[in-house]
């Protein structure tokens, strides 16, 4: 059997390793679209701060890791796919035949329709190449504007701040991390970042960017203007699925898959940031996070290898560190109609916890200012653990979620 995996991020690598274990003796070809060894996008901020070198982002650190598993890693960018004759065409004209194909090409950042975003000095922070480009433009005395304070934007914010830059972050919506935090938590994160010296402009749009003297850029914030050394754009992404045009494979905001991660074509699967997979909280979503990419890769590979494995769905879960304030967000933190919620808030101490429930189960959670045992929130929601008498106890004291988990999962 010949398996081709296109896209060598965490989803592609997890799939290749799973195939190497479950489909022994098969040909496994991992196609990566970037020149480096397979690396992790999410480790890029730590290259920016200098806490690791580029090799610190590599997904596997052991020498000959791929060769030793009979995984052939090649460089190349997919340009088109013909499902009819099971062939993937690469940029340099090479055609690859496959019996089963996994698409794990991830996503790429988009530029909002703002004039001047093509100027030199405007960058994303998405690839190792991006980091090389922006590193010299950050640091003590450098002025930086970050467009977008979503999850990815806020992670980049942390790195830019740590690098010592004077930082302004501009967010079109009315709070920071709007899709990961509610109003209460979003506002607290904003207040915290402001205390740490970041200028946070919410409900603000960048009207345009123009060239200024000395290679600097003038950013129009809707009247108010600011001159900076660097503009970083983190204002949303789209799936790397352009090469599927004409293939018949259905794509919306991600490649459509069934609950075995198979696309609309019989021998083609999709995983990770490019896939709109089953959402544990209901429906289908692009959960553009590392744990989902790895789970997708593993489950898709098992199904490709003929081990029929339905996926129970990924759970949206994020941990964020904004200038030392740590927040987590899991599942349906807004709650659902007919559900219940419990909160404990201490604004002065930047502590907050919110749990949401439906019937006997927890379905979502937010925490601010807590690092200990946050994984239990996932355990409670994703297992799922029936709460029984603990539901009422958690309604009264939501911080007791670890006790709830222990008491409901162990005989004590």
The three-class DSSP label of residue 162 is helix
Q: Which is nearer to another protein, 263 or 292 (CB)?
A: 292
d(CA 244, CA 255): 9
Segment contacting another protein (CB under 8 A): 87-95, 201-209, 213-221, 403-411?
403-411
Q: Which is nearer to ligand FAD, 17 or 273 (CB)?
A: 273
Which listed option, another protein, ligand FAD, none, makes contact with residue 374 (CB within 5 to 8 Å by class)? another protein
Cis before 83? omega within 30: no
Which listed option, ligand FAD, another protein, none, makes contact with residue 6 (CB within 5 to 8 Å by class)? ligand FAD
Q: Is 99 left (phi over 0), alpha (psi -120 to 50) or beta?
A: alpha
The three-class DSSP label of residue 367 is strand
Kindly state whether residue 373 participates in binding another protein, applying the rule CB under 8 A. yes
Shortest separation between residue 11's beta carbon and another protein, angstroms: 11
Q: Which is nearer to ligand FAD, 176 or 342 (CB)?
A: 176
Q: List residues bridging with 195 in a β-sheet.
A: none
Q: Rounded to whole angstroms, what are the CA distances from 18 to 32, 58, 109, 135, 297?
A: 17, 18, 28, 36, 8
Which residues inside 312-351 make contact with another protein, applying CB under 8 A?
317-319, 321, 324, 326, 328, 330
Q: Which is nearer to another protein, 52 or 117 (CB)?
A: 52
Which listed option, ligand FAD, another protein, none, makes contact with residue 408 (CB within 5 to 8 Å by class)? another protein
Which listed option, ligand FAD, another protein, none, makes contact with residue 78 (CB within 5 to 8 Å by class)? ligand FAD
d(CA 28, CA 22): 12
Contact at 8 Å (CB) between 153 and 160? no
d(CA 405, CA 268): 39
Shortest separation between residue 83's beta carbon and another protein, angstroms: 30
User: Could you say which of 75, 77, 351, 378 contacts another protein (CB under 8 A)?
Assistant: 378
Q: Which residues bind ligand FAD (CB under 6 A)?
A: 6-12, 31-34, 41-42, 44-45, 77-78, 104-106, 125-126, 152, 155-156, 240, 243, 272-273, 288-291, 293
The three-class DSSP label of residue 55 is helix
Kindly state whether residue 185 participates in binding another protein, applying the rule CB under 8 A. no
Tell me the backbone φ, ψ of residue 387, rounded to 5 degrees: -90, -25
Query: Could you count the other beta carbons within 10 Å of the beta carbon of residue 297?
Result: 29
Q: Which is nearer to ligand FAD, 145 or 156 (CB)?
A: 156
């Amino acid at each position: 059997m010949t398996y081709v995996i296109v896209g060598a991020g965490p989803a592609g690598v997890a799939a290749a390793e799973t195939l190497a274990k479950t489909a022994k003796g098969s040909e496994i070809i991992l196609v990566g679209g970037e020149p480096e060894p397979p690396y992790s996008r999410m480790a890029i901020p730590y290259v920016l701060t200098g806490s690791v070198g580029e090799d610190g982002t590599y997904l596997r650190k052991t020498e000959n890791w791929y060769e030793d598993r009979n995984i052939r890693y090649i460089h190349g960018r997919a340009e088109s796919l013909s499902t009819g004759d099971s062939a993937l065409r690469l940029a340099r004209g090479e055609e690859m035949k496959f019996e089963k194909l996994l698409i794990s090409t991830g996503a790429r950042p988009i530029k909002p329709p703002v004039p001047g975003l093509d100027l030199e000095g405007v960058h994303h922070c998405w690839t190792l190449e991006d980091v090389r480009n922006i590193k010299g433009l950050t640091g003590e005395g450098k002025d930086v504007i970050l467009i977008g304070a979503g999850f990815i934007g806020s992670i980049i914010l942390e790195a830019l701040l740590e690098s010592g830059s004077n930082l302004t972050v501009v967010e079109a919506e009315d709070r920071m991390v709007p899709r990961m935090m509610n109003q209460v938590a979003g506002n607290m994160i904003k207040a915290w970042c402001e205390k740490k010296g970041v200028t946070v402009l919410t409900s603000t749009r960048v009207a345009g960017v123009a060239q200024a003297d000395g290679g600097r850029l003038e950013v129009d914030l809707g009247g108010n203007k600011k001159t900076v050394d660097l503009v970083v754009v983190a204002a949303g992404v789209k799936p790397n699925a352009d090469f599927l045009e004409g293939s018949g494979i259905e794509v919306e905001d991600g490649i459509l898959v069934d609950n075995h991660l198979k696309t609309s074509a019989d021998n083609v699967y999709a995983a990770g940031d490019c896939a709109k997979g089953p959402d544990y909280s209901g429906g289908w979503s692009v959960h553009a996070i590392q744990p989902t990419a790895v789970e997708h890769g593993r489950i898709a590979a098992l199904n490709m290898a003929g081990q029929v494995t339905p996926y129970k769905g990924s759970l949206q879960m994020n941990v964020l560190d904004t200038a030392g304030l740590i927040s987590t967000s899991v599942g349906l933190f807004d709650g659902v109609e007919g559900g219940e919620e419990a909160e404990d808030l201490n604004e002065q101490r930047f502590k907050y916890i919110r749990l949401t429930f439906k019937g006997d189960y927890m379905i979502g959670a937010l925490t601010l200012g807590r690092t200990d045992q946050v994984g239990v929130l996932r355990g409670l929601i994703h297992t799922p653990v029936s709460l029984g008498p603990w539901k009422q106890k958690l309604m009264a004291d939501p911080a007791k979620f670890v006790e709830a988990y222990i008491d409901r999962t162990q005989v004590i």
